[in-house]
A and B are shown apart, each in its own frame.
Chain A
Amino acid sequence: MARVVLKNLNKKFAETHAVKDVSLTIEDREFVVLVGPSGCGKTTTLRMIAGLEEATSGEIHIGDRRVNDLPPRDRDIAMVFQSYALYPHMTVYDNMAFGLKMRKFPRREIEGRVRDAAEILGIQDLLGRKPRQLSGGQRQRVAVGRAIVRHPRVFLFDEPLSNLDAKLRVQMRVELKRLHDRLQATAVYVTHDQVEAMTLGDRVVVMHDGRVQQVGEPLEVYGAPRNRFVAGFIGSPSMNFLETTVAESAGALYAEAPGIRLRVPAERSKRLSAYTGRPVTLGIRPEDLCSAAGDDSPGFSFEAVVEVVEPLGSEILLDVRAGNASLVARVSPATRVKPHEKIRLAFAPERIHFFDPETEEAIPLSI
């Protein structure tokens, strides 16, 4: 049983308040990903869980123990560092065996565990080498191996894939996921890559500026972002934002921006009517825009001028200008458009988001 519970965790450095009031419960065997832009306090949070950084205030529980005052070695955790931090003077075998030796495991047990881990990771042939004789991907595996031989209650990963090239990163991502299914241990994984976050996490914790913005399953965070930051951060290319004004006309609500007039879907009108005459931020993901023929979805489409066409093979990214707003649309590769042409874009009405421009909070569907 290794639930990790953070209660009102804070960390202040000399000038920076790096982690602000973070409360989070990570269930036993759960794979939780902390994601956020550079400097948002992910690493600091992870290091506090590891005991490498002292919390300024707040509590950390692992299992049923409060671990604030325990040194790292007594927390029963294993950590994979961004730089891997292998011991350069030891062989791969000794690197992996080190933690077990420190804990006075019998030699045979150590040997068995190291061989097992090496097999899982496919590094049996490297056991006699020194870290400097390994490639980046191999070092990464050794670092993971060093963590798994210990059978810790909690795994901590700090951007373990960020030093790998794109292809290897995708491959290791899959392997890590498989490994987690196999090991059934609690894992906290830090990354600034939202694709990694979405694909690996049972749940995703989006952080910004030291605060937790939203916690949820990947699709939940993607589909119902709680505020403008989360909406813009999760998803690639990121969500389009339009500064609009809510207007009422003939019993329906419209979000208006220069050159664009979009009908607010009926189910959203209830909450938005309070904003009549006031600005709201409308959010729409590039993949929720498609090219519309003629005028087949009145109220839910608008005219735009294509500026840049980026064909990606499986899809086309269109940078378009509508009124004075720039938008990105992700359309089917069958779409035939050229720069400077006009295009009619329709959006899925149930997939638009509204944000209060002042608080930047999402305006929920209903009360």
Chain B
Amino acid sequence: MRRSGPFRLAGAAVHRAVVLLFAAFAVFPFYWMVVTAFKQNSDLYVGAMNTAHNPFIFNQAPTLDHVKYLFTETPYPTWLFNTLSVGLIVVAVTLALAVPAGYSLARLSGRWGERLGIGVFLTYLVPSTLLFIPFSRLISILGLQNTTWALVLVYPTFTVPFCTWLLMGFFKSLPAEIEESAMVDGCSRLGATVRVILPLSVPGLLTAVIFSLTLVFQEFVYSLTFISSVEKMTVSVGVPVALIRGDVYYWGSLMAACLVTSVPLAVVYNLFLDRFIGGITGGAVKG
């Protein structure tokens, strides 16, 4: 039985309200970042007693001062560059290791594949606050203290297990018959993987890339431990070091830094993942 008019309307309204609530929850941090990053200091730092002041809006004209400060008075561009270059290398290393590992765990080792997969995933769960002590010893033996190479070496220890596990699940969801068909059609196993499996895995690969990048962007403990010179830091450590001086917070510039780092990631997440995930394997097998 179909529900009658007023009930349906009420249902739709509740639905909208819930969606709006979650949307607001997700958007609010970004909104707060934007407002804070472009507010003038006199608009930003107002006594708590001043109840007439509405902190959620621009009470004075927006300004680019904080952004300018960030880019000219701090080594923020250098940190961005460090973060990006570490990120890209880590992504490359991660894909180079996790794709073959995930594929073999998914296809070649039967029941053991699953157990090994879980084992690999467990290593990801060991917290970095525990691992940085042995790692710092390793890093110093290798003579990599205070270089970004230390991070390039250490970050894959958590990106590789996670991405291997993620890609394993992804490869498993692709029917083996597709690549077998390619092998009958004239490919070697490697050829079938490259020509058929990888193109179908783009959503999985993108997820792995974005995941690795995000981890590199937000990682704090290792970066703080292994890097001491300001000009070699990554964003996640450099920004708080430079913009929090004692108990003075440069909120405007802090928020500008967060904005510049997080908005591209958010855009990539929404643009690519939605478009790729699902749908792409449709039609491979039966009807």
Contact = CB atoms under 8 A, between A and B. Distances in A.
A6 to B, nearest CB: 18
Contacts of A136: 286-287
B287 A87 contact: no
A86 to B, nearest CB: 6
B275 to A, nearest CB: 14
A50 interface: yes
Nearest to A138: B287
Given A79-B181, A146-B185, A85 B284 contact: yes
Interface in A125-169: 130-136, 139, 146, 150, 163
A344 B134 CA distance: 91
Contact of B281 (A71, A88, A103): A88
B180 to A, nearest CB: 5
A121 B207 CA distance: 40
Select the residue from B178, B180, B282, B287 with max chain A CB neighbours within 10 A. B287
A274 interface: no
Interface string A63-88: 00000000111000111011111111
B141 interface: no
B286 A163 contact: yes
B192 to A, nearest CB: 9
B263 interface: no
Select the residue from B175, B186, B196 with max chain A CB neighbours within 10 A. B186
A83 B196 contact: no
Q: Is the interface of A mostly helix, strand, loop or mixed?
A: loop
Contacts of B180: 50, 52, 72, 79, 81, 85
B52 interface: no
A135 B283 CA distance: 9
B185 A133 contact: no
Given A81-B180, A83-B177, A139-B287, A88 B280 contact: yes
A265 interface: no
A14 B49 CA distance: 76
Interface string B262-287: 00000000000000000111111111
B199 interface: yes
Interface in A55-110: 71-73, 77-79, 81-89, 98-99, 102-103
A245 to B, nearest CB: 50
Interface in B177-203: 177-178, 180-188, 191, 196, 199-200
A130 B185 CA distance: 19
Contacts of A71: 183, 188
Nearest to A77: B184
Contacts, number: 95
A77 B185 CA distance: 8
A73 B188 contact: yes
Nearest to B110: A14
Nearest to B281: A88
A51 B188 CA distance: 12
Interface in B154-188: 175, 177-178, 180-188
A86 B185 contact: no
A51 B182 CA distance: 13
Contact of B284 (A72, A131, A133): A131
A138 B183 CA distance: 23
Contacts of A146: 181, 185
Nearest to B283: A132
Given A50-B184, A72-B180, A88 B284 contact: yes
A131 B287 CA distance: 10
Contacts of A52: 180, 183-184
Select the residue from B175, B184, B186 with max chain A CB neighbours within 10 A. B184
Contacts of A98: 182, 185-186
B283 A131 contact: yes
Given A73-B186, A73-B187, A73-B188, A85 B283 contact: no
Given A81-B180, A163-B287, A102 B282 contact: no
B184 A83 contact: no
Contacts of B280: 88-89
A85 B285 contact: yes
Nearest to A152: B184
Contact of B175 (A72, A85, A103, A150): A85
Nearest to A53: B180
Interface of A: 14, 50-52, 71-73, 77-79, 81-89, 98-99, 102-103, 130-136, 139, 146, 150, 163
Interface of B: 110, 175, 177-178, 180-188, 191, 196, 199-200, 279-287
